[in-house]
């Protein structure tokens, strides 16, 4: 996935539209405006556009309190964001339109059908998807040569990672202009193949599910599993705390999707995770971090082993480079070390065991 041609005649992206003003869409709009792009934030109803603007205002108010931006800079940022009601009202001459609606193929396809009609032939369409097939979305868009997948990580105004996923028919110009836009946002870009889970979620989601299986089997408490994981991976939050932060339904949806797409029964959502989602609850973690050394060793072995195995598959399938796998873990997940760095530190023989 190397060798992007940033030709001298390439027209840079200057105007951007974000379809969907939820937490992710408003975050992408905010970051885009912060980097001095003109951006439209589009949603179906005025109330959703206004909600997105409120989310942005709240984040920027916090940034003023922390002296990241001055009040004058905040007004300039908000002034670059235009609220638009209705996808059909997206400006026809927009350079790049990023769809950030619910993770449902039919909903996304309907958005792209509208965009393909209202946008001119030079507009690039992109989907902010974490799991759906970019190639299938590209075909549904009606302009597969000017289509690309983008996977921003939450919160997009803070998290520096973005995965760029070209479709089979994405033109070199489409890829180059999109990558240049992402780098203009200050993002670390991983260019990867269209495979289920892309890069980071491919190893991170099974890692979460393995923690659920450890709890389900009674190996240790959720607090103990989190504590062992935090020490083994040198991270600030363990798998259960992370699931509570992002929402257990996202973890369940993601792991079931990978199980189906990769035909890997091991990835099917653990029963305790499924019951948690059905009940609308979050994990009760508690403070009991004690467990036996044997239990701690099993937790370390299974969590590390899951990551090592999947990271190896990613490289074997040429989804991206070994270095990009590590980069994704460190930038996107804020791990101190990536999977291959962890394996090297442990020793290859022990990592394979």
Known catalytic residues are: 151
With left for phi above 0 and alpha for psi between -120 and 50, is residue 268 left, alpha or beta? beta
CA 39 – CA 115 distance, rounded (Å): 16
Residue written as token pair 């991206």: 320
Residue 41: beta bridge partners? 18, 83
Q: How far is CA 87 from the centre of its chain?
A: 23
List the structure tokens of 262: 């990769």
For the chain, how are helix, strand and coil distributed in percent, rounded to 5?
55, 10, 35
List CB contacts of 165: < 8 A, sequence separation 6 or more: 134, 148, 149, 150, 151, 191, 192, 193, 194, 198
Beta bridge partners of 98: 18, 126
Q: Which contacts (CB < 8 Å, 24+ apart) does range 271-277 have?
A: 271/216, 272/212, 272/215, 272/216, 273/209, 273/212, 273/243, 273/248, 276/248, 277/248, 277/249, 277/252
Return the SS3 of 155: coil
CB-based contacts of 67, cutoff 8 Å, min separation 6: none
């Amino acid at each position: 996935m190397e060798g992007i041609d940033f030709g001298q005649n390439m027209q840079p992206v200057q105007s951007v539209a974000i379809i969907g003003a939820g937490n992710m869409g408003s975050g992408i709009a905010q970051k885009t405006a912060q980097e001095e792009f003109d951006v439209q934030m589009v949603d179906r109803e005025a109330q959703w556009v206004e909600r997105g603007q409120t989310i942005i205002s709240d984040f920027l108010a916090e940034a003023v309190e922390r002296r990241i931006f001055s009040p004058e800079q905040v007004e300039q940022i908000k002034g670059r964001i235009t609220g638009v009601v209705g996808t059909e009202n997206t400006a026809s001459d927009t350079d790049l339109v990023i769809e950030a609606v619910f993770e449902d193929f039919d909903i996304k396809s309907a958005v792209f059908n509208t965009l393909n009609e209202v946008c001119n032939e030079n507009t690039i369409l992109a989907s902010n998807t974490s799991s759906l097939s970019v190639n299938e979305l590209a075909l549904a868009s009606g302009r597969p040569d000017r289509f690309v997948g983008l996977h921003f990580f939450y919160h997009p105004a803070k998290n520096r990672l973005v995965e760029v996923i070209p479709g089979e028919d994405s033109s070199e110009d489409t890829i180059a202009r999109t990558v240049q836009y992402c780098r203009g946002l200050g993002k670390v870009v991983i260019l990867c193949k269209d495979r289920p889970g892309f890069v980071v979620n491919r190893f991170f989601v099974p890692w979460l599910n393995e923690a659920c299986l450890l709890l389900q089997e009674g190996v240790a408490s959720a607090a103990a599993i989190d504590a062992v994981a935090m020490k083994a991976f040198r991270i600030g939050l363990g798998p259960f705390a992370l699931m509570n932060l992002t929402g257990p339904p996202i973890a369940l949806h993601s792991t079931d999707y990978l199980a189906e797409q990769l035909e890997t029964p091991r990835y099917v959502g653990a029963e305790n995770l499924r019951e948690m989602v059905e009940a609308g609850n979050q994990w009760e973690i508690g403070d009991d971090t004690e467990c036996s050394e044997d239990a701690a060793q099993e937790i370390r072995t299974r969590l590390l082993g899951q990551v090592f195995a999947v990271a190896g598959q990613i490289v074997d399938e040429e989804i991206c480079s070994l270095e990009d796998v590590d980069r994704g873990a460190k930038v996107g997940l804020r791990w101190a070390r990536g999977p291959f760095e962890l394996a090297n530190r442990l020793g290859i023989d022990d990592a394979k065991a």
